[in-house]
Amino acid sequence: MAKTSATLAALLLLGLGGARAAPVAEPSRAELTRQVEALDQAFFGAFNQCRIEQLAGLVAEDLEFFHDKTGLMRSRQAFLDSVRKNVCQRFRREPLPGTMTVFPLEGFGAIQMGEHKFCSLDSGRCEGKGRYVHVWHRLDEGRWELMRVLSYEHLPLSE
C-alpha cells in the first residue's frame, strides 16, 4: 500500500495522474531569442510609456524584483506602484545593442541577460546604465510572464 501511494503521489506530481495537455515543443535557441526580444520590447515599451495595464499583463502576480539600490520588491502590485511613482514621466530605458543574451530553461521558459541605459525625459540625456537578469515563464497557453528580476550594477553612463 505504501509503495502504491508513493507511486500515485509521484505520478500526480509529474502530472501523469489525470488528463494533461500535450507537451509544448521547445523552440530553437534562435526562436526563443526572438520571442524574448519581443517580450523585452513589449515590456519596456509599456514601462517607458507608463502603460500600467499592459505592464501588469506581462508580470507574474508573485514577481520578485531585486534591485541593487532599493533592495527586494515582492508582488506585481508593488512593482506597478513603484513604476507609477518613480518611472512615469521621469525616465525611459533603452537596451544597449549587442548585450542581450537568452538562455533556455527547459520546460519552463528563459533567462534573459543584458545591459541598458536610462535617459531623463526632462533633459533627454542618457546618464545611467545597469545590468539585468530576467526570468521569463512560458505558460501553458503560450503566454509569457516575467517572474524574477535582478537589476544591478547601476552606474553613471560614463563609466
The answer to whether residue 114 scores a pLDDT higher than 90 is yes
pLDDT of the residue at 26: 85
Domain assignment present for residue 88? The answer is yes
Is 124 a domain residue?
Answer: yes
- The pLDDT of residue 141 is 81
Sorted by sequence, the CB contacts under 8 Å of residue 113 that are 6+ apart come out as 100, 101, 102, 103, 131, 132, 133, 134
Tell whether the model's pLDDT for residue 77 goes beyond 50. yes
Task: Write phi, then psi, for 122 (nearest 5 degrees).
Answer: -70, -55
**CA-closest candidate to residue 46, choices 113, 98, 38:** 38
**Domain count of the chain?**
1
CATH number at residue 141: 3.10.450.50
Residue 108 lies inside a defined structural domain of this protein: yes
Taking residues 51-73, report their average pLDDT: 97
How confident is the model over 125-152, as pLDDT tens digits? Answer: 999 999 999 999 999 888 999 999 999 9
The rounded mean pLDDT for the chain is: 87
Q: Is there a domain that residue 11 lies in?
A: no
Say if 36 falls within a structural domain. Answer: yes
4 pLDDT higher than 80: no
- H or E stretch at 101: strand 101-105
pLDDT (0 to 100) of residue 24: 59
In a domain, 12, yes or no: no
Element (H, E) at 150: strand 144-156
In sign, the C-alpha dihedral spanning 58, 19, 110, 142 is negative
pLDDT bucket at 38, cuts 50 / 70 / 90: very high
Q: Residue 17 falls within a domain, yes or no?
A: no
How many CA within 13 A on the CB side of residue 128? 15
Q: How confident is the model at residue 101 (pLDDT cuts 50, 70, 90)?
A: very high
Residue 53 has pLDDT above 80, yes or no: yes
Average pLDDT, integer, range 17-38? 76
Residue with grid cell 526572438, as numbered in its chain: 34
Q: What's the mean pLDDT in 30-42? A: 96
The whole domain housing 108 covers 27-156
Structural domain contains residue 22: no
End-to-end distance of the chain based on CA atoms, in angstroms?
Answer: 65
